[in-house]
Amino acid sequence: MSQAIIILKEKREAQLLLLNLIIAGLLAIFFPGSFPNPGNLRALGVGMVYDALVAVGMTYVLILGGLDLSVGSNVALTSVVTTLLLARWGITSVPMAIAMGLGLSATIGAINGAIITGVSLNPFIVTLGMMAIARGVARVLSAGFFITDLPASFEVLGNASVFGVPLQIILTLGIIAVFDFLVRRWSVLNRAYFVGTQPDNAETVGINVGRVIFVGFIISGLFSGIAAIFLSSHLGIGYSQFAGGMALRALAAAVVGGADFTGGKGSVWGAFLGVLLLALVSNGFVQVGLSAYWEQVVNAIVLIIAIWAASFSEK
């Protein structure tokens, strides 16, 4: 028992899990008809899939001591290009188009990483520039319109269900679980913690810090790409205005999940639970029937409490 209390005191993931369970429990008790019903849970899950993927990628970059503001624009550009490939640019094979879309999103991340490590620039300004460029290119390519006329097989990924659970939720949980395992156990990805905490020492012991950071930005780009594919497949359109403000939302979720701007902190499941917490709060607003306008204020309070909790555990 005392051990459980210690874990709860020190582990952000445990705190978040407990908090999420409490909120879900309360919602289930007070709204037994509308909260635990499959339709609501499905909407809750599908609504958080895209944010969760992007927040996980963002967390990895934060662990490195970096930051990626271009994730939302990356989602928009990947969505536009993938759908354009299928609708107008003559690619008939859906897997091929998806692979090319993911390749594009990884390339955007690679360009970020290459400029940051190659030209020695702050990730904030580089990814800010990329945020404008990617969003702009998405608008130029789509002329601001929805991209429709997609093959039916493209929409399977985002709309199919397995035993009533949407496929994209299962896939997202799978991707996050595998990535979490790799980050904890595979030395190549685990180095991020060392690099984020002590970049100079990491260099001294022979870690190629530049390459770790380069790979980190590719991973962040790739997660945006996966979110983009799921999102366009689910809605059956490509759109250049997708995911506006997603970068800051993902950042907030990552920080609620235990990541920090000093680097070296945060975890994959923490980010996921952070997104889940914000999604539950937002769903709670719908259940209680409160004006959605209050939601942002509550999100801000959640974020401040998370920052406060982090400062508390450091002392």
Partner 1 sequence: MGSHLKYYVNKFVGTTNIGLIFAIAVIFMGLSYFSPTFLTLSTLEVIAMNYVAEGIMALGMTIVIISGGIDLSVGSLLPFSAILVATFFNMQMGMPLAIALTLLISITIGLLNGFMINRLKADSFIVTLATMIGVGGMSLILSRGGTISGFPIGFSYLGLGRIIGVPLPIFLFFVFALIIGVLLKRHRYFYQAYYIGTSTQAARLCGINVEQFRLFIYSFNALLAGVAGLITASRYLSAGPNFGVGIELRVIATVIVGGASLSGGRGSIDRTVLGMIFLALVNSIFIELGLPTYWKQVVFGFVIISAVVIERYLRVKRTGVEESWQDFMLTSR
Tell me how far CA of residue 2 lies from CA of 8, 86, 158, 314, 315, in angstroms: 10, 57, 44, 21, 21
**Count of helix runs (H) and strand runs (E) in the chain:** 14, 2
Tell me how far CA of residue 192 lies from CA of 118, 203, 233, in angstroms: 18, 12, 32
Handedness of CA 113, 118, 123, 124 (dihedral sign): negative
Q: Determine phi and psi for 64, rounding to 5 degrees.
A: -70, -10
Tell me how far CA of residue 254 lies from CA of 167, 174, 204, 217, 246, in angstroms: 24, 19, 29, 16, 12
Q: Residue numbers of the site for partner 1 (CB under 8 A)?
A: 64-67, 69, 115-117, 119-126, 128-137, 139-140, 143-144, 196, 199-200, 203, 209-210, 213, 248, 251-252, 255, 260-263, 291, 293-301, 303-304, 307-308, 310-311, 314
What is the SS3 assignment for 131?
helix
Minimum CB separation of residue 235 from partner 1 in Å reads: 22
Minimum CB separation of residue 226 from partner 1 in Å reads: 23
- Contact (CB, 8 A) for 80 and 239: yes
Q: Which residue's CB is nearer to partner 1, number 49 or number 64? A: 64
Minimum CB separation of residue 169 from partner 1 in Å reads: 26
Minimum CB separation of residue 83 from partner 1 in Å reads: 18
Calculate ∠ Cα 19-192-225, nearest 5°: 75
Q: Which residue's CB is nearer to partner 1, number 63 or number 94? A: 63
Minimum CB separation of residue 260 from partner 1 in Å reads: 7
Q: Which residue's CB is nearer to partner 1, number 209 or number 227? A: 209
Q: Which residue's CB is nearer to partner 1, number 93 or number 122? A: 122
Relative to beta strand 165-166, strand 161-162 is: antiparallel
Q: Which residue's CB is nearer to partner 1, number 2 or number 120? A: 120
Q: Which residue's CB is nearer to partner 1, number 150 or number 209? A: 209
What is the SS3 assignment for 51?
helix
Minimum CB separation of residue 79 from partner 1 in Å reads: 16
Q: Which residue's CB is nearer to partner 1, number 17 or number 298? A: 298
Minimum CB separation of residue 129 from partner 1 in Å reads: 4
